[in-house]
Amino acid sequence: MATKQVKCDDCKREDCPQRIIGAVCAINQELIPLIDSVHSRDPILMSQFIVSIVGSEYGRYKKAKEVEALGVEEKVNIVDKFGDVKTVRRKNSIDNNVSTLAMNMIKAGKLLNDILNPPKAQPFLQQNNQYNIKVGAVDQIRALSGTEQEKVLKFIDDKLDAQRSA
Instruction: Render pLDDT for 107-156 as a digit per residue (tens, 0 to 9).
Output: 888 887 777 776 665 555 555 555 555 666 777 777 888 888 888 888 88
Residue 159 lies in a domain: yes
Distance CA 17, CA 42 (A): 17
Residues 165 and 99 in one domain: no
DSSP-assigned letter for residue 131: P
In this structure, are 57 and 139 located in the same domain? Answer: no
- Whether 99 and 153 map to the same domain: the answer is no
**Cα distance between residue 27 and residue 34, in whole Å:** 12
What's the pTM? 0.47
Going along the chain, which residue ranges are E strands? 73-79, 85-91
Q: Give the domain range for residue 58.
A: 1-69+95-120
Q: Are residues 106 and 141 in the same domain?
A: no
Instruction: Say how many domains are in the chain.
Output: 2
Separation in Å, CA 2 to CA 23, 30, 70: 17, 8, 40
